[in-house]
Amino acid sequence: MLKPIIRNLVYQNKTLTKLWINFIKFRDRNKLIHRRIYNKFYFLYLTNLKGYQEMHFDKKITNAMFKIFITLDEKKVYKVIRKDNIYSYNFYRKIKQKDNFIAYSKKLESMNKLEYLGGNISAVSAIHRNGNYEAPYINNDNLQIVKLKLLADEYILDSIEISAILYAIEEIVTNLERYYKKFNYIPGDWMLHNMVYDIKSRKIINIDLEGFYTYRNHEIGNNLERIKNDFEELFYLLRNIEETHSKCRTSITF
């Protein structure tokens, strides 16, 4: 009873509110210092003794929940819960509970079997008790990086590659629409940075398996209209490049 009264008194005063917010930020920053120190040693262990290399992203894209590593032969990705920020740490604490871990494991293992969407979702190779998991590695940029590179004129694709990606975009949008029509929602997080074009299967794959556990239905990450708008923007960027290639070919004279 006393805590709500004190909280109300604090928030009624601008100076006290500012001090309280700064205190919370300071507490959260320093609460996990030991975890950041532990991570440095653990990540060194993974890269120097276990044969992993840390994955780095272009265009300042980061992952606040997981630190991502790949094997030197680029066959497997290993996603490690960071636990060095409040969001990631709270997720880790939740997964520590047995019932939550079982639900988490079942969710990750079943997503690539979903009706309509299963072919566009990564498989999982192994799930560790601490919530870390392994999955097949897809050697390509995520679609957000592809989009940013296209806008900056930094991405080089030939007409065959462009045609394959355009077809993959049409296919995944159709699959998402079919799923939504039947179930009235889209599971997971379908932001462009969570998707990769897989050259082998010629499909766009959602590699953010944890998003199928953490995201509730009808959030921005799984809003069908937003997803379709993202794909539409990428589609027309690629189509413009394809048309430019076509004009260049037809304008060549001998």
pLDDT tens track, the chain, 254 positions: 445 555 565 556 677 777 767 766 666 666 788 888 889 999 999 999 999 999 887 656 677 889 999 998 989 999 999 998 888 999 999 999 999 999 999 999 999 999 999 999 999 999 999 999 999 999 998 999 999 988 888 877 888 899 999 999 999 999 999 999 999 999 999 999 999 999 999 999 999 999 999 988 777 778 999 999 999 999 999 998 867 655 544 443 33
pLDDT digits over 100-134, tens only?
A: 999 999 999 999 999 999 999 999 999 999 999 99
Q: Is residue 150 part of a domain?
A: yes
Alpha-carbon gap, residue 176 to 172, rounded angstroms: 6
Residues contacting 127, CB < 8 A, separation 6+:
104, 105, 108, 109, 133, 134
Q: Is residue 242 part of a domain?
A: yes
pLDDT score, position 253: 36
Q: Is residue 243 part of a domain?
A: yes
Q: Is residue 20 part of a domain?
A: no
Q: Is residue 189 part of a domain?
A: yes
Q: Is residue 13 part of a domain?
A: no
Among 181, 141, 170, smallest CA distance to 235 is for 170
pLDDT score, position 2: 46
> Do residues 205 and 169 lie in contact, with contact meaning Cβ atoms separated by under 8 Å?
no
Q: Domain residues for 242?
A: 33-251
State the CATH number of the domain containing residue 45: 1.10.510
Q: Is residue 26 part of a domain?
A: no
Among 115, 131, 135, 137, smallest CA distance to 213 is for 131
Question: Which residues pair with residue 66 across a beta bridge?
Answer: 81
Average pLDDT value over all residues in the chain:
86
pLDDT score, position 169: 97
Q: What are the CA-CA distances from residue 14 to residues 19, 20, 71, 122, 234 (Å)?
A: 9, 10, 51, 48, 45
pLDDT score, position 144: 93
The number of distinct structural domains making up the chain is 1
pLDDT score, position 10: 56
